């Protein structure tokens, strides 16, 4: 019924009948679903919550990339911060109003908070931006994450035939959970003044 980006984990809908498929497609077109993602992003200036309302279209300089462009299609992302881990990044939730290609990744990069591990849009901080060697070591470990740290965590919608309210949640996959533990552990260890946990 819909797609999620390659290397993004999480929940998807698959229709079993033509009738269900047709009605679900109509729901997506009308934005009549509750789609929430969790992301681990670089930077900690993303506080509270907000909305990103910027059109997205194919980048003129690279056919594989999307970009903010006045010639693009309407795209709206709501976001809220769940936790922050200075000096590295933040754990956020995004709710999609629209569903453009690479929407969350492009929107978050646009406001300076690219998704960790995103090879197209997720520009990581430089080692020189870290306050000490301990933080630089932690950053080096985080930069090794092998996909964008983006997870389709929640999907809510009405059953396409009965109208029953349905919702589905899936927890963070093992790799993102491990990345979150690494970030949490590094921040906690720095706060305690520990050193040398990276061998």
**Residues catalogued as catalytic:** 5
CA distance 174 to 172: 7
Beta bridge partners of 58: 66
> Closest Cα to residue 94, out of 144, 148, 164?
148
The helix (H) or strand (E) run that includes residue 122 is none
C-alpha distances out from residue 160 to 52, 53, 163, Å: 29, 29, 6
């Amino acid at each position: 019924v819909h797609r999620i980006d390659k290397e993004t984990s999480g929940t998807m809908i698959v229709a079993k009948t033509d009738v269900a498929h047709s009605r679900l497609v109509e729901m997506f077109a009308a934005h009549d679903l509750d789609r929430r993602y969790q992301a681990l992003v670089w930077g900690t200036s993303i506080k509270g919550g907000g909305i990103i309302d910027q059109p997205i279209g194919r980048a003129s300089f690279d056919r594989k990339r999307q970009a903010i462009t006045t010639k693009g299609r309407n795209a709206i992302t709501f976001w809220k911060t769940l936790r922050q881990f200075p000096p590295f990044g933040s754990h956020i939730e995004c709710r999609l109003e629209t569903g453009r290609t690479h929407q969350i990744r492009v929107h978050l990069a646009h406001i300076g908070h690219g998704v960790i591990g995103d090879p197209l849009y997720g520009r990581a901080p430089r080692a020189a931006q870290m306050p000490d060697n301990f933080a630089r070591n932690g950053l080096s470990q985080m930069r090794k994450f092998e996909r964008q740290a983006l997870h389709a965590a929640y999907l809510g919608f009405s059953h396409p035939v009965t109208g029953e309210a349905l919702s589905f949640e899936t927890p963070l996959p093992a790799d993102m959970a491990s990345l979150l533990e690494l970030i949490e552990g590094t921040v906690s260890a720095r706060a305690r003044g520990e050193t040398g946990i990276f061998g």
